[in-house]
């Protein structure tokens, strides 16, 4: 065990900020302020490499994330890959009249910066293109929206959220160009490494497409952050841990996790209401996050360990705890086990090698 080293290393909570509640944004501004306050209290408490700690390692000043909605759509909604979207994707929050008022990316950034400046000492910002599929457009369109962020003197990075089937080589080349000028993350939604689950979710992409996207991004030295959901319909604990092991082997630099939540107006809600699916209890989720992170190398930045659904949209679960309490519980569970992020990586590798050896000896 390397508990004390880990405590020294992983001592900040996530400070990822969102300017507005966009279609896929589940953090409130108040929550983010609380996170910042909590950071000082929990300075030495974290047993995983949090996004906040990473930003402090990278920059000599405080950096916050500002989430923006650049007005993109998604190929799993417009018919290019599918219609209806992923079963967990909230139709109401994604519909045109419920999306936040379509202000320009530049004005959303100004709003976000003003928010932080009024409440906290001024710092720098990473603009997170979060809503929908932020590489789904012509190169000119992409350049136009990314440049609105780049043009702001206090923006020091971009985080581009997208699907694994929406990063053709010309787009990755474009991102590489931006990565040469700023701190850039490519955020790829995977959710599960099991095609059976991806089909069940109506994701309309495969794990092979994710692998291909990661490989081509890594060829261009792009930082990749993978998104995964725990508690997906039909997934066992073992299946979730296989996803962890696969991500560990892929050497992605970042990871975002959250539990499955059911939101209004989704296919998932219909399944939930007819008791075809269940959601995780808080204790289950805490245990699974720790199981998962124990298998993820300690160098991987864990940029999110839980999500929150805006109250009007939430169907289940209702855990009745704040995000901070979830984070606290995860660290408490690590402490109880005497483990931390990455502590099982070598053991998993050794087991995999032993299995290969056994198979070869038998054949
Ligand atoms: S890929 Fe993203 S935006 Fe598109 S339907 Fe799925 S969750 Fe929604």
Tell me the per-residue pLDDT of 154-189, one tens digit each, with 9 for 90 and over: 999 999 999 999 999 999 999 999 999 999 999 999
- Tell which atom from ligand 1 comes closest to the C-alpha of 133: 3
How many Å lie between the centroid of ligand 1 and the Cα of residue 24? 9
How many Å lie between the centroid of ligand 1 and the Cα of residue 12? 30
CA-nearest of 210, 283, 273, 197 to 247 is: 210
Greatest Cα pair distance in the chain: 68
Q: Is the pLDDT of residue 332 over 60?
A: yes
Domain ranges for the chain, please list them. 3-362
* Per-residue model confidence (pLDDT) at position 187: 98
Q: Name the residue with the closest Cα to ligand 1, atom 8.
A: 89
Top pLDDT among 23 and 175 is at 175
Dihedrals phi, psi of 224, to nearest 5 degrees: -110, 130
pTM (predicted TM-score): 0.86
Instruction: For residues 149 and 70, give the distance between their C-alpha atoms in angstroms, rounded to a whole number.
Output: 10
Residues with C-beta less than 6 Å from any ligand 1 atom: 74, 76-77, 85-86, 89, 132-133, 163, 189
- Our mutation pick for probing the ligand 1 site, out of 163, 205, 313, counting the most ligand atoms within 8 A of Cβ, is 163
Q: Is the pLDDT of residue 94 over 80?
A: no
How many Å lie between the centroid of ligand 1 and the Cα of residue 87? 9
- Our mutation pick for probing the ligand 1 site, out of 73, 132, 232, counting the most ligand atoms within 8 A of Cβ, is 132
Instruction: For the chain, give the mean pLDDT.
Output: 86
Encode pLDDT of 25-35 as tens digits: 333 344 444 44
Encode pLDDT of 212-227 as tens digits: 999 999 999 999 999 9
Q: Is the pLDDT of residue 280 over 60?
A: yes
CA-nearest of 255, 15, 254, 17 to 127 is: 17
Three-state helix/strand/coil letters over 132-175: CCCCCCCHHHHHHHHHHHHCCCCEEEEEEEECHHHCCHHHHHHH
Fold for 3-362, please state it: TIM Barrel (3.20.20)
Segment 259-277 mean pLDDT: 96
* Per-residue model confidence (pLDDT) at position 122: 59
How many Å lie between the centroid of ligand 1 and the Cα of residue 76? 6
Most confidently modeled range among 37-41, 310-314, 325-329 = 325-329
- Tell which atom from ligand 1 comes closest to the C-alpha of 77: 5
* Per-residue model confidence (pLDDT) at position 102: 67
- Our mutation pick for probing the ligand 1 site, out of 22, 85, 94, counting the most ligand atoms within 8 A of Cβ, is 85
* Per-residue model confidence (pLDDT) at position 312: 87
């Amino acid at each position: 065990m390397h508990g004390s080293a880990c405590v020294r290393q992983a001592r900040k909570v996530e400070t990822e900020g969102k300017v507005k509640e966009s279609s896929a944004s589940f953090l409130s501004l108040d929550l983010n302020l609380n996170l910042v306050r909590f950071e000082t209290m929990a300075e030495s408490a974290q047993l995983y490499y949090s996004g906040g700690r990473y930003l402090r390692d990278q920059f000599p000043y405080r950096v916050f994330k500002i989430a923006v909605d650049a007005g993109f759509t998604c190929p799993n909604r417009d018919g290019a890959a599918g219609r209806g979207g992923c079963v967990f994707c909230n139709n109401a929050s994604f519909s045109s009249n419920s999306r936040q008022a379509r202000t320009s990316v530049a004005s959303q950034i100004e709003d976000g910066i003003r928010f932080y400046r009024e409440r906290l000492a001024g710092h720098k910002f990473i603009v997170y293109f979060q809503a929908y599929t932020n590489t789904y457009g012509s190169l000119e369109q992409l350049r136009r929206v990314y440049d609105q962020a780049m043009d702001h003197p206090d923006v020091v990075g971009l985080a581009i959220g997208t699907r694994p089937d929406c990063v053709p080589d010309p787009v990755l080349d474009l991102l590489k160009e931006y990565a040469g000028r700023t701190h850039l993350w490519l955020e790829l939604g995977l959710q599960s490494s099991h095609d059976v689950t991806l089909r069940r979710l109506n994701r309309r992409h495969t794990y092979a497409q994710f692998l291909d996207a990661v490989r081509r991004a890594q060829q261009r030295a792009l930082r990749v952050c993978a998104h995964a959901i725990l508690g997906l319909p039909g997934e066992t604990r073992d299946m979730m841990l296989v996803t962890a092991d696969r991500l560990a082997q892929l050497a992605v630099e970042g990871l975002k996790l959250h539990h499955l939540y059911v939101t209004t107006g989704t296919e998932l809600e219909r399944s939930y209401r007819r008791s075809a699916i269940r959601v995780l209890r808080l204790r289950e989720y805490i245990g699974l996050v720790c199981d998962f992170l124990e298998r993820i190398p300690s160098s991987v930045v864990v940029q999110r360990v839980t999500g929150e659904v805006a109250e009007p949209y939430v169907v289940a679960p209702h855990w009745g705890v704040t995000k901070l309490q979830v984070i606290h519980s995860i660290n408490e569970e690590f402490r109880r086990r005497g483990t931390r992020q990455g502590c099982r990586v070598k053991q998993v590798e050794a087991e995999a090698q032993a299995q290969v050896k056994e198979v070869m000896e038998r054949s």
